[in-house]
Amino acid sequence: MAILPILKFPDPVLKEKSAPVERITPELSAAIDDLLDTMTASPGGVGISAPQVGILQRIVAVDVSAHRRGGQEENHGLLVLVNPEILAMGGRQIVREGCMSIPDYTANIERAQWVLVDSLDREGKRVILESVGFEAVAIQHEVDHLDGILFLDRVASLKTDLFRRRKYR
């Protein structure tokens, strides 16, 4: 297991679309372990996508349970989602988002309040889950990475909704 370097904007890999995972292999399981180690070692890290470490496969990890925003609401704990697809979403909220690939900025982004996600878990079993609040936001953010979308692409106004981060937490 290893902590992998996180790609930073404007690395062109971050704008590429990731390929679906065809099957879970021992090599893929090892890459997922590295992804989890990398997320855990990153300050404030509540989610990470495989493309952020240069792996163009449809894999994300999310765990908001220890974060001040996520620990106060119902959540699923550590999620590893392989080939996640958002089937439905609803509600709207404006949230302040940051990203390990864009460490110097945060922004106000409009996101759905809840999502219904279909994916595989790390063993290859199908999982359908409903997520709300901060966890739903983190899932949307990470799934965006799989399609080459950064939170900067969702900022309504760079002048009023983008903020320089004072310190990374």
pLDDT tens column, 100-150? 999 999 999 999 999 999 999 999 999 999 999 999 999 999 999 999 999
Rounded to whole angstroms, the Cα distance separating 28 from 21 reads: 9
Domains of the chain by residue range: 12-164
pLDDT at 61: 98
Give the single-character DSSP code of 13: G
Catalytic residue of the set 16, 73, 123, 142:
142
pTM equals 0.94
- Residue type at position 23: R
Is it the case that residue 168 has pLDDT exceeding 80? no
Count of beta carbons in the 10 Å neighbourhood of residue 89: 17
Q: Is 142 marked active-site? A: yes
pLDDT in tens, 34-48: 999 999 998 888 999
Strand ranges (DSSP E) for 54-142? 59-62, 79-90, 93-99, 102-111, 114-120, 126-132
151 Rama sector, left if φ>0, alpha if ψ -120 to 50, beta otherwise: alpha
Rounded CA separation 161/133 (Å): 20
State the Cα–Cα distance between residues 140 and 76, nearest whole angstrom: 15
- The band of 11, judged by pLDDT with boundaries at 50, 70 and 90, is very high
Whether residue 24 has pLDDT greater than 80: yes
Share of the chain above pLDDT 70, in %: 95
CATH topology of domain 12-164: Peptide Deformylase (3.90.45)
| Distance between CA atoms of residues 41 and 112, nearest Å | 28
pLDDT at 67: 77
**Alpha helices (H) along 42-78:** none
